[in-house]
Structure 1
Amino acid sequence: MKFITGVLAAVLLLAGMGASHAVVRIGEDRGGRIGTYVDRYQEVRSSGEMVIIDGLCASACTIVLGAIPRDKICVTSHAALGFHAAWDLDEDGRAITNPEATHMLYSMYPPQVKRWINARGGLTSRMIYLRGKELMSMYHPCFLDARASTQH
């Protein structure tokens, strides 16, 4: 009888751990193509998963700030967000700023992040980092648990 009660308790516990308890952990993500991140974060938003930023989230990764509701994002003391202008490669393979993509990227950010970016000269080819107390003042802190999965 104890075994059946234990199994029943475990089943009920697992049944209660739906999507609202799932988490996506962003660790060391240096970014990539904007469209890939838009698609990825639309899926995360639809799932209702919590996003834990626990390391570097740079470039296109920062789209998470506009795609996921603020109350579904938390940051650890290791979190750092890296922002820069969007770029493409020219015919010689050199990186050149893409003003349209930069504007699209910037438009996705919440107002407090836009103010922070503007106070540092806007999105340029130079990477700027939001971390520490400034980041913690914009997003609530979180604590890692065993259910976190790394999203690359």
Structure 2
Amino acid sequence: MRITSVSLLLLSVLAAAPAWADLHITRDHGGYVEEYKTKYARIRDRHERVIIDGICNSACTLVFGIVPMNKICVTPRASIGFHQAYYDKAFTFGIKVTSAAGTSDLMSYYPETVKEWIRRNGGLTTEMKKIKNGVELWKIVDPCPEEF
């Protein structure tokens, strides 16, 4: 069998490509829950790591319930924010209308450590509840190794 230059080039490119990539979260204010479920399931299925190095609010926090906790780490700059789920304001004439079913769905994804923090802090409400303190956050998720 003859190996052509193109075949060798293709093999070298494939060998040099990383097997996985890290997701760096630095400024994520959330969005549509279903989109985050799909995104994080893809990351979980690819065995990728998630590094939270800034704001991770709202639907972004689903990462804790979908990606294995041993694949997630936080830096000292991490800030995690939780609130009740609400309907898209485009369909509610600009009014924030909470969704009990959506909030229940969010809670069903979180690991017990996250649920316990939420309970200790008054449960999910319309107001954003944030974990900014590294020590408090490290009770839920591991700090990133020194290289981050």
Distance verdict in 2 for CA 1:74–1:36, change over 3 Å: same
- Residue number in structure 2 paired with 1:137: 139
- Residue number in structure 2 paired with 1:6: none
SS in 2 for 1:139: coil
Question: Of Structure 1 and Structure 2, which has the larger fraction of its residues in strand?
Answer: 1
- Residue number in structure 2 paired with 1:29: 28
For 1:129 and 1:91, locate their aligned partners in 2 and report how far apart those are by CA, in whole Å. Answer: 26
- Residue number in structure 1 paired with 2:67: 68
Q: Give the letter for the 1:130 counterpart.
A: I
- Residue number in structure 1 paired with 2:105: 104
- Residue number in structure 1 paired with 2:4: none
Deviates more, 1:127-136 or 1:88-97: 88-97
SS in 2 for 1:96: coil
Q: Deviations over 1:42-73 (max 9, x none)?
A: 11001111100000000000000000001000
Shift of 1:91: 3.8
Q: TM-score normalized by structure 2?
A: 0.82
For 2:19 and 2:92, locate their aligned partners in 1 and report how far apart those are by CA, in whole Å. Answer: 48
- Residue number in structure 2 paired with 1:84: 83
Shift of 1:93: 2.4
For CA contacts below 8 A with separation 6 or more, give which structure has more relative contact order.
Answer: 1
- Residue number in structure 1 paired with 2:56: 57
| Structure 1 gaps, min length 5 | 1-10, 147-152
SS in 2 for 1:117: helix
- Residue number in structure 2 paired with 1:18: 19
For 1:139 and 1:91, locate their aligned partners in 2 and report how far apart those are by CA, in whole Å. Answer: 35
Moved over 6 A (4+): none
Q: Could you tell me the percent identity over the aligned residues?
A: 41
| Structure 2 gaps, min length 5 | 1-11
Shift of 1:18: 1.9
RMSD in angstroms over aligned alpha carbons? Answer: 2.0
Distance verdict in 2 for CA 1:46–1:144, change over 3 Å: farther
Q: TM-score normalized by structure 1?
A: 0.80
Shift of 1:16: 8.7
Shift of 1:139: 1.4
